Amino acid sequence: MSYTFAKRSFDIVCSALGLVLLSPVAGIIGLLIKLSDGGPIHFAQIRIGRHGRPFRLWKFRSMVVNADKLGPPLTKEEDERITRIGRFLRKTKLDELPQLWNVLRGEMSFVGPRPEVPRYVAAYTPDQRGILEHKPGITDMATLHFRNEEALLRGAKDVEEFYLEHCVPKKLELNQQYARQATLIKDVWIIVQTLLPYWVGVVVVYSLILTFSLWAAYLLRFDFNVAEREMGELKRFLPWIVPLQVAVLMWRRQLSGLVSYFNLPELRHTCESLLLAGLTQFIVWYATGGKWAPGRSVILIDFVLALVLVVMMRSYFKLVRERYFSARALPGTPTRRVGIVGAGEVGCRLALDIAANQKVGKRVVAFFDDDPGLWHKRLYDVPVVGMPECLLNGAWRDELDEVFVALPAAHSERVKQVTRMLRGFPLTVTFVSSWPILEPVAA
């Protein structure tokens, strides 16, 4: 069975089921949109499909009425045209639900390059127009990597110019790479990643660890012979204790990613989070006479086990990252805000060097890298914001004091591009292409 036939069969079956099963959700969304401002529920826009054929793409309306007449088709994070419910729909991707109808009609697929408006397609180069050989989709590799596209466009003076010059080429490159090796299994994996963002996986991992911790606390407290009564308590308390622990971990920013660098401040935050959850359980135990919380010894054992297990898990990822970058994290609290272009070995060593030497008076606040796989993740507890071109957004000029370009000499052509891009940049720009870099930075 060919990939094309299997893909179309998958699209027909799943879109039909989705339209039927999700109709109650669609009804609720439509009602909320209608009640919010009385405007239309759906928004339709002409997009360019396969072989350059235009079609009408459907979405739930997430912007004010006639928003297309008030500004460009693109939106950035601070766009005032987005409605309150629209922000929720965009963040959860629920505004894309009506496109199941486009999939069922054969105008789109579940996985394929996102269709653009005609005037953006008109700006494609001859090579870029090759992407029109593929049927557009609801999601694709570019969708995953540009999941927070509105944040990438934040502060851009001319959103369309920035999007066409920097975002579109990267998106098309990602989609062309994927098209050469696409399979139905890979398509399904992209759909799963779209529906379940990275943070969902983090929540699941933490929940499993904390569930095991509470269960093990009961085992230790009752010498591995838990009676039926205590087992009933465990089942009754588990549904609120684990969500409580996850919630306080989230509050202390411990759910930003399992691949975040784990250091002493992170350990302190984890300890504070689980301690707060434990104290809450003590209060509930005292207030209810032990009816809605485990015994004090179980709470204490659970706190110690949960802390040990979470630290072990985070430390494991720390070792994985250290092995990957051949680096050792050193905490520091500098004050001058630094952005680093390049999240490879040189950039990461530079970040560690700055963190380890408080005398330099610097603090790394953001990485910028060409690898979409690193975007919106954290290296050494520093976010990888997006591609280097994000620096052109005006907002970063107020949030950074200095920029280091840490690209290896082997990437000479890219270094030249970045050099031209940052020419006339209002902040101090320093180029670093080799190691060690401790002395030049300190100087």
* Choice between 404 and 68, residue whose per-residue pLDDT is larger: 404
d(CA 7, CA 272): 49
Band the pLDDT of 326: cuts 50, 70, 90. very low
Q: What is the predicted pLDDT for the residue at 262? A: 63
* Choice between 21 and 433, residue whose per-residue pLDDT is larger: 21
The fraction of the chain above a pLDDT of 90, given in percent, is 38
Please tell me which of 3-7, 66-70, 297-301, 334-338 the model is most confident about, judged by mean pLDDT: 297-301
- What are the structural domains of the chain? 3-195 (no CATH), 198-325 (no CATH), 336-442 (3.40.50.720)
The residue among 167, 127, 76, 189 whose CA lies nearest residue 370 is 167
d(CA 276, CA 251): 11
d(CA 258, CA 247): 16
| 8 Å CB contact between 368 and 400 | no
What is the DSSP annotation of 262-276?
P-HHHHHHHHHHHHH
The residue among 80, 78, 82, 74 whose CA lies nearest residue 158 is 74
Q: What is the predicted pLDDT for the residue at 77? A: 64
User: pLDDT, tens digit, for every residue of 23-65?
Assistant: 999 999 999 999 988 889 999 999 999 999 999 999 999 998 8
d(CA 241, CA 235): 11
Mean pLDDT of the chain: 84
Please tell me which of 214-223, 256-265, 378-387 the model is most confident about, judged by mean pLDDT: 214-223
Q: What phi and psi values does residue 109 have, to the nearest 5 degrees?
A: -125, 170
Q: What is the predicted pLDDT for the residue at 409? A: 62
Alpha-carbon torsion (393, 397, 400, 404), positive or negative: positive
Name, in order, each residue with C-beta under 8 angstroms of 202's C-beta and a sequence gap of 6 or more.
255, 256, 257, 258
Distances from the Cα of 346 to the Cα of 357, 407, 408, angstroms: 17, 7, 7
User: How many beta carbons lie within 10 A of that of residue 378, not counting itself?
Assistant: 16
Band the pLDDT of 1: cuts 50, 70, 90. low
**Whether residue 436 has a cis bond before it, omega within 30° of 0:** yes
| 8 Å CB contact between 86 and 62 | yes
Name, in order, each residue with C-beta under 8 angstroms of 111's C-beta and a sequence gap of 6 or more.
7, 137, 138, 139, 140, 182, 187, 190, 191
Q: What is the predicted pLDDT for the residue at 258? A: 57
Distances from the Cα of 330 to the Cα of 46, 184, 264, 343, 405, angstroms: 52, 44, 9, 17, 21
Q: What would the mean pLDDT of 191-210 be, rounded to a whole number?
A: 84
User: pLDDT, tens digit, for every residue of 67-90?
Assistant: 877 777 777 666 788 898 998 888
Cα atoms in the Cβ-side hemisphere of radius 13 Å centred on 310: 31
